[in-house]
Structure 1
Amino acid sequence: MTTWVLSLKHAAALRVDLRGIVPAALAELSLDQIERLPVFHGNDTLPLAELCHVESVDGNGATLVLQGDFSRFDRIGWQLTGGRIEVRGNAGDYVGAGMTAGEIRVSGHAGVLAACEMQGGLLDVAGNVGDFAAAALPGSMDGMRGGTLIVQGSAADRFGDRMRRGTALVFGDAGDFLGSRMVAGSIAVGGRIGAHCAWGMRRGSIVCAGAAPSIAPTFVPTGHDISVFWQLLARDLARFGGPFAGLASKRIERIAGDLAVGGKGELLLPL
């Protein structure tokens, strides 16, 4: 199998759309054809080779490596169906959006709408993510629908907005409106959580492994014994390490809500 390495030649003057530059598409092309692939640079198109130096090396599996600061390059791994993408630097907006399988690892930060409408696979961001990660695309009703999102840094506002399925973890802090309008799925946060946590939440679980957030009056303690369920969930989260490693040894308080929209969601507060 081949590994394709795109090394950034210079910072892009405008936003660049990298949709379609994925391992499965590159596998059918020669190096010369890859260099001529058109990418949107603002409202115009440029051949990929004008922005990146392209090379291929032998590797284990179909892999695309992006070397440099790709923070102006959007839609990396857009609707990815397999293979592996490594971003050795920062990534732009919409990284991993709509992906159904495969793996994306970002060694830096990611922009807004990371993993939006993700359906499967793994997105691991070593740094921070912007607003609306694991959320819905503008105008859409469903956010993240499957797969695993790991944010080893912090998340900005509206993380998991309209989330419907899957697992999303934030090792650091999370901004305002975490899990807002959440329909299902699991979110775990290791640090502090901003205002209006789980606003409009219908179903799903939010594990507050760090400091307990400010809880709205439309959430109420249940008093139920959920120790068996908690052990299963805590042990599953423990494999990710960090602030989630010792959760299985803690007791848990369950807060149900949002009662304003049905009240079938839950905030899990380790004690």
Structure 2
Amino acid sequence: MQVVKLSLKEANKIPIEADDVNPDNFAGKTEEEIKAIKVWYGNGQYPLGDFFNVKVEGSDSVENTKIIFEGDVSRVKRIGQNMSAGEIEINGNVDMHCGFGMRGGKIVINGDADSWLGCEMTGGEIILNGNASYYVGSGYRGESCGMRGGKITINGNAKDYLGEHMCGGEILVKGSVGLLPAISNNGGKIIIEGNATMPASEMKSGTVIIKGETFDLLPSFKEEGTEEFEGVTYRKFTGDVNVGGKGVLLIK
């Protein structure tokens, strides 16, 4: 097992773009090699060691590499981008784009996450033990698909546009969400244990289950009886008929 512990030397006002901070790039490397990995800061690239204290224990494959961030990294973006295996643990809040393009492995965040958490991920697992901001599991502007695989669990609330353009995978939200969850969905499964407003607009396929209250249900969904999920009976709707959608929406 290889464990890499990172802690910021001082709080940063300008965001750090940590595109290459993932187990794939850390596995088998020494402390000095990891410190030398470049990150973007402002309009230039600088060694990771300029900003972080780095401690390395052991050396192993990417599957057995774990990165631990101690403290707040709410101004550090793109942690875990494109990772394929291993684990990242963040003990604090994290900035935007965490887990972007993730293909495998696991990210655990013991804090809150800014926008675009797990966007366009295709595999792996993200567990957020806090609240999420906008566009969880979504696609960037102009992309036809957001999240394609994997699972995101949010043990708190999420803001607007959860799962926008989602094409696969699963999102579970233990709390409530904001406006337009599952907008333009093309697949996958979203379970919201709290409340949601105007869900599944322009959804073509996929499944959305809302266990709490649903506000402002769109009139472009067709009610088709009931369906049971986990022993509970829900009203079943299909749509969005405005786009010829055949997605399934289950609400109380």
Do these two structures clear the TM 0.5 threshold for a shared fold by scoring above it?
yes
Q: Distance in 2 between matches of 1:89 and 1:138?
A: 28
Aligned partner letter, 1:253? R
Q: TM-score, normalised by structure 1?
A: 0.88
The offset of 1:267, in angstroms, is: 1.1
Aligned partner letter, 2:200? A
Q: Distance in 2 between matches of 1:90 and 1:204?
A: 31
Q: Is the 8 A contact 2:71 2:91 kept in 1?
A: yes
Match of 1:31 in 2: 31
Q: Distance in 2 between matches of 1:250 and 1:39?
A: 49
Q: Is the 8 A contact 2:88 2:108 kept in 1?
A: yes
Q: Distance in 2 between matches of 1:53 and 1:117?
A: 30
Q: Distance in 2 between matches of 1:212 and 1:177?
A: 11
Q: Distance in 2 between matches of 1:251 and 1:21?
A: 45
Match of 1:240 in 2: none
The number of equivalent residue pairs is 249
User: 1:147 aligned to 137, 145, 150, which one?
Assistant: 150
Q: Percent identity?
A: 31
User: 2:223 aligned to 210, 221, 224, which one?
Assistant: 221
Which has the larger strand fraction? 2
Aligned partner letter, 1:250? V
Match of 2:235 in 1: 253
RMSD: 1.5
Secondary structure at 2:183 match in 1: coil
Where does the alignment leave 5 or more consecutive residues of structure 1 unmatched?
Answer: 231-247
The offset of 1:59, in angstroms, is: 8.9
- Whether 2:249 is the aligned partner of 1:263: answer no
Q: Distance in 1 between matches of 2:35 and 2:45?
A: 13
User: 1:138 aligned to 132, 136, 141, which one?
Assistant: 141
Change (3 A) 1:145 1:178: same
Secondary structure at 1:223 match in 2: strand
Q: Distance in 2 between matches of 1:150 and 1:213?
A: 22
The offset of 1:46, in angstroms, is: 2.0
Deviations 1:201-231 (A, max 9, x none): 111111001113321111121126x44xx3x
Aligned partner letter, 1:2? Q
Match of 1:241 in 2: none
The offset of 1:40, in angstroms, is: 0.5
Match of 1:74 in 2: 77
Q: Distance in 2 between matches of 1:42 and 1:109?
A: 24
| Of 214-223 and 100-109, the range deviating more from structure 2 | 214-223
- Whether 2:78 is the aligned partner of 1:96: answer no
Match of 2:201 in 1: 199
Deviations 1:176-208 (A, max 9, x none): 1110000011001111112x2111111111100
Match of 1:161 in 2: 164
- Whether 2:102 is the aligned partner of 1:109: answer no
